[in-house]
């Protein structure tokens, strides 16, 4: 398949922008995965691999899916940071709305933490170094802090939305439900296990919902386990909101220093959580001390 062919886009009522005519030479190779109404392809453009996120357009598609895809494209094309997956261009042609992203070959942080090889005793065959994990946490924190500085709330900070490049540097992705800050956000969005209580309860929320989700991701990094793994998403959400429950904090060796930060990030009261700049500062200090 080739993108960017067909001047029909110009006559198209759904055409939002066709801002990157140079993507005419982009070739799609294979599907990397699907989810949330879009498919991600691995492609080749000007001799480099790229990831192409294509909205699945079908007759039953709701307007919201298109709206959030356009929102993601807009947000991504306005931002640039070493810890955010770079958007190389967008194409909003009917039948083929697509976002072209840098290709990140290292897989997701979720995959790094949870899909490891185990020996016959159920022990992982190799340990992930605490240094690498602290560096990844710091990189994600700088990416989210950058978003907040640019008035963007990610709203779905979690290990599956952090991808690693060839040198295992972390980049935040998936801006499908990100939003420009407005004081009265109430819509429920995100993923139950990592969603802040105020978001689950449809209360007003702000940047601090990302701090909560970051805290939950930090717990996942420090324990290399899924939070509330014995419960389904709804049970976890009930425990978090109604009972103030959180997973027990007992970090793996050499990651104990993350414990206090985790607890401060997921406080019930958003105002008591640190802002992302403070989280970055604390992670810099931890990173310098980790063995
Ligand atoms: O977890 P994964 O291996 O990484 O599977 C998902 C899949 O596409 C559906 O989202 C992968 N993916 C998303 N964006 C990129 C990217 N920029 N580079 C490489 N893989 C990506 C994601």
pLDDT tier at 127, thresholds 50, 70, 90:
confident
Specify the pLDDT at position 182: 58
Ligand 1 pocket, residue 159 CB under 6 Å = no
Most confident segment among 62-71, 147-156, 225-234, 261-270: 261-270
Ligand 1 pocket, residue 15 CB under 6 Å = no
Specify the ligand 1 atom closest to the Cα of 160: 1
Specify the ligand 1 atom closest to the Cα of 111: 1
ipTM higher than 0.85?
A: yes
Ligand 1 pocket, residue 113 CB under 6 Å = no
Specify the ligand 1 atom closest to the Cα of 107: 3
The annotation places the binding site at 53
Query: Among 12-26, 41-55, 85-99, where is mean pLDDT lowest?
Result: 12-26
Q: What angle do CA 289, 139, 167 make, to 5 degrees?
A: 95
Residue of 39 and 159 predicted with greater confidence = 159
Catalytic residues: 156
Most confident segment among 32-41, 194-203, 280-289: 280-289
What is the C-alpha to C-alpha distance for residues 157 and 212, in angstroms, rounded to an integer? 9
Helix axis angle, 130-149 relative to 208-223, nearest 10°? 170
pTM score of the predicted model: 0.88
- CA distances from residue 62 to 37, 65, 66 in whole angstroms, order as listed: 10, 6, 7
DSSP 144-200: HHHHHHTTEE-S--SGGGEEE-TT--EEE---TT-EE--TTB----S-GGG--HHHH
Q: Rounded to the nearest whole angstrom, what is the distance from the C-alpha of residue 40 to the centroid of ligand 1?
A: 7
Specify the pLDDT at position 12: 31
DSSP 53-115: EEE---TT--HHHHHHHHHHHHHHHH---TTBPPEEEEEEETTEEEEEEE--TT-BHHHHHHS
Question: How many other CB atoms are found less than 10 A from the CB of residue 178?
Answer: 22
pLDDT tier at 222, thresholds 50, 70, 90:
very high
Most confident segment among 56-70, 89-103, 118-132, 202-216: 202-216
What is the C-alpha to C-alpha distance for residues 99 and 70, in angstroms, rounded to an integer? 9
What is the C-alpha to C-alpha distance for residues 198 and 139, in angstroms, rounded to an integer? 26
pLDDT at 200 exceeding the cut of 60: yes
Tokens describing residue 26: 């982009």
The predicted-structure confidence for 1-33, as pLDDT tens digits, reads as follows 344 444 433 333 222 333 455 566 778 889 999
Specify the pLDDT at position 95: 59
Ligand 1 pocket, residue 107 CB under 6 Å = yes
pLDDT at 101 exceeding the cut of 70: yes
Q: Rounded to the nearest whole angstrom, what is the distance from the C-alpha of residue 250 to the centroid of ligand 1?
A: 30
Nearest CA residue ID for atom 20, ligand 1: 104
């Amino acid at each position: 398949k080739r993108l960017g062919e067909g001047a029909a886009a110009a006559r198209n009522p759904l055409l939002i922008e066709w801002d990157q005519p140079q993507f005419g030479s982009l070739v799609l190779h294979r599907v990397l995965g699907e989810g949330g109404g879009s498919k991600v392809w691995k492609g080749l453009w000007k001799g480099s691999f790229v990831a192409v996120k294509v909205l699945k357009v079908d007759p039953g598609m709701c307007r919201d899916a298109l709206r959030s895809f356009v929102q993601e494209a807009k947000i991504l094309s306005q931002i640039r940071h070493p810890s955010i997956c770079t958007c190389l261009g967008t194409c909003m042609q009917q039948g083929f709305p697509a976002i072209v992203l840098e290709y990140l070959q290292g897989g997701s942080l979720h995959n790094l933490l949870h899909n490891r090889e185990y020996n016959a005793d159920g022990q992982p065959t190799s340990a992930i170094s605490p240094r690498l994990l602290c560096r990844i946490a710091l990189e994600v924190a700088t990416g989210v802090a950058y978003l907040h500085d640019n008035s963007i709330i990610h709203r779905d900070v979690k290990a599956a939305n952090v991808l690693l490049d060839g040198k295992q540097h972390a980049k935040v992705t998936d801006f499908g439900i990100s939003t420009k800050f407005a004081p009265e956000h109430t819509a429920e969005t995100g993923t139950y296990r990592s969603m802040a209580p105020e978001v689950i309860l449809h209360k007003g929320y702000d940047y601090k919902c990302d701090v909560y989700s970051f805290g939950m991701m930090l717990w996942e990094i420090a324990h290399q386990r899924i939070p509330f793994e014995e419960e389904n998403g709804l049970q976890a959400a009930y425990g978090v909101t109604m009972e103030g429950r959180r997973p027990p904090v007992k970090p793996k060796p050499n990651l104990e220093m993350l414990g206090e930060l985790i607890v401060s990030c997921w406080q019930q009261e958003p105002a008591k959580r640190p802002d992302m700049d403070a989280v970055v500062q604390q992670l810099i200090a931890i990173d310098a001390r980790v063995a």
